[in-house]
Structure 1
Amino acid sequence: MGRNIRKRRSPLAVRAIAASAALAIGGGGLVWANFYASAHEENSSPNTTKAASAQVATISCPDVGQKLTNVPNRARGEVDGELATLDAQITAAYQRLATTRDAQARDASFVQNSILGPLKNNRSVIIDRIKLEISRAGGSTPSSLDGLSSCTATPATQTNAGQNNGGQNNGGQNNGGAASQAPSPSASASAGGQQGGGQQTGNGGQAGNGPLASDFVDITKVRANVPRKAQTRAGGSTGTFTTSCGVNANKKFNTDNVIVAPGVTNGAHHLHDYVGNQSNDAFATNDTFAAAKTTCANQGDKSTYYWPVVRIQNGTQDFDQNNDGGGKEGNVGQIQQVKQAQIKFVGSAKSKVVAMPKFLRIITGDAKTTTNGLANANAHWSCTGFENKVQLTQQYPICPRGSTVVRTFAFQSCWDGVNIDSANHRTHVAFADAQGNCANGFKAIPQLTMRLVYGFRAPTLQNGQIKNAYAVDGFPEQLHKAATDHDDFINVFDENLMNKMVNCINKGQRCK
């Protein structure tokens, strides 16, 4: 089994990332303001999403990390650090966009000359560094990197357009899960916020960067869209293994992401809930994970399971309102803890499963679908009582009385048989096809599925505005779209418990 070795990013490099972000916004702190307020003040309540117009809604930058499918192991630590710097640059540029509305109104070239131009120059420097790091380690860089420094400004009327560039919802990759389906015309009308022939206006949200009223839909008005699961054939594996790891009662939160940005504090730019392993932060190593405490009932499971928090935008600020990754980066509102976090591993419709390698890393979904498109989207939003009928990718559900919001995730279930990670954190694992087959010589592994159930009351639509909106945390320029939802996992099962899981699943048993 191959093992990816990562270098811990030096404190100097971490400070350089922070300095880069500070310089990009003139050395000031990230102080958020609702920059659409002056355009539409009829309802100035802080818990109401505004529906005002704006010239530019967000910044769209090519995702360099997704192009890096072959980075030498010894260069990955530095490359991941440089990719984190690119994220920090985009965050800083978006902050400048959000706080210079008057200047943009006075000068039509302001965004290009003062935001996009400098951002392109800063990105070019980092992309050149990435190419150098790969070259020094004996690798070769794709020629397409040279064209990835330029970013574009996206008008408010097109903030959903980027989600239509990635082909079919979920890319047909959710192994029997449900893709989002556009609601019926009556459902779209009921969602509100759709004006001018379906064009969206304003950018809404308590911090001015989403969500919109049109990001919500009454689930009772959406057609059933859940496809049939792949039929299990002879030789398939029908068992399940459930692990109970709690609901983050310890309130372990941070804005790191050790998978994509090891050694970089606030590498995620949004807050994560954690269950399982209690030592997960930017600087955790495999040895750290192995020695950690776990919230899982079975102490043989020290795996780490983490996902972005959901917040109610009701005017309430939470503990991180002045923190990086929190209020400073547009993630505002009252954090909602899950009422249930159900974690289950299931089998393959076509074959027996093999053990996951220890420290296997899997990310499912894409935190940047607003600019990347839906090719890697794997968000599933629904309501209790509707999960077998409707699953949404591009909108948040408004649940009827007696029902509450549910997020579900079905992780990639095919593994390349060698690597615990890959340069873009995707190509070492894959989804089975619609019939349940693993392609390209990949092996079926136990498929991690997660079901997160919440208890907050449904938002309400009033005159095209959404009151008490909820939204998933994310990168600020991604505008808190539902499709940006994602989930992360690092396998730290001990060998005996992993073997028990595999045997249970392959024998068709139900085990814990």
Structure 2
Amino acid sequence: MSFSALLSKRSLIAGAVVVLLGVGAAVVYLNRTDARAEPAGADNALAASAGPTWEDAQAGLGGTAQSGSAGASAGASGKAASVKPAPPGWVNVDPVAWKAQVDAYNALAMDPVPAGVGNLAEFRADCQYSHSLADDPIVAPGLPGASHMHSFVGNAVTKADTTVADLQKYTATSCKPVQDHSAYWVPTLYDAASGKPAETTGFRVYYRSLMSSGAGQMPMPTGLRMISGDAKKQQPTPRGAKGQFYCAFYGPGDLDGVARSTNGNWPICGEGATLHFMLQFPDCWDGQHLDSPNHKDHVAYGSGNACPKSHPVKIPAITFDIQYGVKGSTAGYYLASDPEGKSASSMHGDAFVVWDVTTMNKRTKNCVQQRRTCDNNGYQK
């Protein structure tokens, strides 16, 4: 069974499922509710289930577009109007490039589905640890050393001043498929007893649908930046708390561990189990901005089969499923984002999305819109 069974449209479900990671496989039992906070000021009214047209996405979102947004609709000639400079912290999508991607996506026919392919609407990239830096090209672009330590997977060139053009030009990656040129990162995890890092040993990035149909599904725009989680949150994560690391294992067992660290914040896993963490990103986009000042307001979470009117473009939902090659200990761990509190509540993830456009379009059309299960190479048999 795919890890996708962990998510039931808008929340994590209880039950036994198999987590298939780039390194090994595990059965994990989840009983979590996925907290979904709408971005500040988001309009929660839902858009039509048919999904937005190009004009819907680019025409100012019903007059609510702020000064400096892309806000340019394509005329009959297919040319996009000029784009005003974005306010500080907002990054405009290139309307010409996005229109070209949308046109190519709409013209793309779905590939025939081989026999035996599942109906979980997803494709994925399996990644390995790449490198660590105290950099963050989303939160602190161009400022090397200005962040806490991060563990990066994916594009090998990622550092503080990495741009979209860099990710497109320098495509060496620790992910499969190699057509995924994206950069993904999380705060580095440290062993509290030794102070040494415990790096990821498997890092799967799912692109999936959390909605009830593929109607109106669009691909990710090149250069979209997003953050899931809160690096500043510092609350205890005792047994049963939301937002904690969990134990993944073969067979029945305790998600929260057979014991806890001395401070209660970290599970100690049973035989054969290792620590895991899962992060869910939004699945709706405003159609205008690749980033926003808090790196969240340009995206939102949908509901059922629709997106908020403020964010009408239905995009694949990224999910990080992260494996660590450690079992837990009485001393526990700490994240680079909270070395004092030593809780897991500050766990967060960043996604700087740059794929080969043809591959992104094809995987979204075949796997997410057509609602078929795909692996690193396409349809999963």
Contact 1:235/1:351 (8 A) holds in 2: no
CA distance in 1: counterparts of 2:293 and 2:141, whole angstroms: 13
Q: Which has the higher contact order (CA 8 A, sep 6+)?
A: 2
Alignment pair present for 1:368 and 2:238: no
Secondary structure of 1:482's aligned partner: coil
Report matched runs for 1:317-332 at 5 Å.
none
What are the superposed Cα offsets for residues 427-465 of structure 1, whole Å, 9 maximum, x if unpaired?
0011234x46422342221111111112223213xxxxx
Q: Which residue in 2 is equivalent to 1:397? A: 267
Deviation at 1:244, TM superposition (A): 2.2
CA distance in 2: counterparts of 1:425 and 1:279, whole angstroms: 21
Structure 2 residue corresponding to 1:258, chosen from 127, 137, 150: 137
Contact 1:414/1:429 (8 A) holds in 2: yes
Normalized against structure 2, the TM-score is what? 0.60
Contact 2:285/2:314 (8 A) holds in 1: yes
What are the superposed Cα offsets for residues 252-289 of structure 1, whole Å, 9 maximum, x if unpaired?
11011110111112222x21111111111111122112
Secondary structure of 2:234's aligned partner: helix
In structure 2, relative to structure 1, the CA distance for the partners of 1:508 and 1:388 (3 Å cut) is farther
What are the superposed Cα offsets for residues 167-224 of structure 1, whole Å, 9 maximum, x if unpaired?
xxxxxxx931379xxxxxxxxxxxxxxxxxxxxxxxxxxxxxxxxxxxxxxxxxxx97
Deviation at 1:228, TM superposition (A): 9.5
In structure 2, relative to structure 1, the CA distance for the partners of 1:297 and 1:235 (3 Å cut) is same
Q: Which residue in 1 is equivalent to 2:223? A: 359
CA distance in 2: counterparts of 1:388 and 1:350, whole angstroms: 31
AA matched with 2:277 = R
Q: Aligned residues: percent identity?
A: 29
CA distance in 2: counterparts of 1:347 and 1:334, whole angstroms: 37
Structure 2 residue corresponding to 1:176, chosen from 1, 5, 11: 11
Report matched runs for 1:209-224 at 5 Å.
none
Contact 1:380/1:408 (8 A) holds in 2: no
Contact 1:366/1:378 (8 A) holds in 2: no
Structure 1 residue corresponding to 2:337, chosen from 432, 456, 474: 474
Contact 1:238/1:506 (8 A) holds in 2: no
Q: Which residue in 1 is equivalent to 2:368? A: 505
Q: Which residue in 2 is equivalent to 1:243? A: 125
Deviation at 1:370, TM superposition (A): 2.6
Alignment pair present for 1:275 and 2:153: yes
Q: Which residue in 1 is equivalent to 2:308? A: 439
Over 3 Å off, 4+ runs: 234-238, 377-380, 385-392
What are the superposed Cα offsets for residues 91-137 of structure 1, whole Å, 9 maximum, x if unpaired?
xxxxxxxxxxxxxxxxxxxxxxxxxxxxxxxxxxxxxxxxxxxxxxx
Deviation at 1:291, TM superposition (A): 1.0
Q: Which residue in 1 is equivalent to 2:204? A: 342
CA distance in 2: counterparts of 1:387 and 1:506, whole angstroms: 34
Structure 2 residue corresponding to 1:414, chosen from 264, 284, 298: 284
CA distance in 2: counterparts of 1:416 and 1:437, whole angstroms: 13
Alignment pair present for 1:313 and 2:192: yes
Structure 1 residue corresponding to 2:294, chosen from 402, 424, 431: 424
Deviation at 1:225, TM superposition (A): 3.8
Q: Which residue in 2 is equivalent to 1:383? A: 247
Secondary structure of 1:488's aligned partner: strand
AA matched with 2:139 = V
CA distance in 2: counterparts of 1:366 and 1:417, whole angstroms: 24
Normalized against structure 1, the TM-score is what? 0.45
AA matched with 1:459 = S
Deviation at 1:391, TM superposition (A): 7.4
Q: Name whichever structure is richer in strand by fraction.
A: 2
Q: Which residue in 1 is equivalent to 2:69? A: none
In structure 2, relative to structure 1, the CA distance for the partners of 1:501 and 1:395 (3 Å cut) is farther
Q: What is the aligned-residue RMSD (CA, Å)?
A: 3.4
Contact 2:253/2:270 (8 A) holds in 1: no
Structure 2, unpaired ranges of 5+: 1-8, 15-28, 36-48, 52-118, 236-240, 258-263, 377-381
In structure 2, relative to structure 1, the CA distance for the partners of 1:389 and 1:508 (3 Å cut) is farther
Report matched runs for 1:37-76 at 5 Å.
none
Deviation at 1:226, TM superposition (A): 2.5
In structure 2, relative to structure 1, the CA distance for the partners of 1:388 and 1:350 (3 Å cut) is farther
Structure 1, unpaired ranges of 5+: 1-173, 180-222, 317-332, 372-376, 461-467
In structure 2, relative to structure 1, the CA distance for the partners of 1:483 and 1:499 (3 Å cut) is same
Secondary structure of 1:339's aligned partner: strand
CA distance in 2: counterparts of 1:469 and 1:370, whole angstroms: 16
Secondary structure of 1:496's aligned partner: helix
CA distance in 2: counterparts of 1:438 and 1:387, whole angstroms: 37
Size of the aligned set, in residue pairs, is: 257
Structure 1 residue corresponding to 2:169, chosen from 291, 294, 297: 291
Secondary structure of 2:176's aligned partner: coil
In structure 2, relative to structure 1, the CA distance for the partners of 1:438 and 1:226 (3 Å cut) is same
CA distance in 2: counterparts of 1:262 and 1:224, whole angstroms: 36
CA distance in 1: counterparts of 2:252 and 2:362, whole angstroms: 29
Secondary structure of 1:383's aligned partner: strand
Alignment pair present for 1:454 and 2:324: yes
Larger Rg: 1
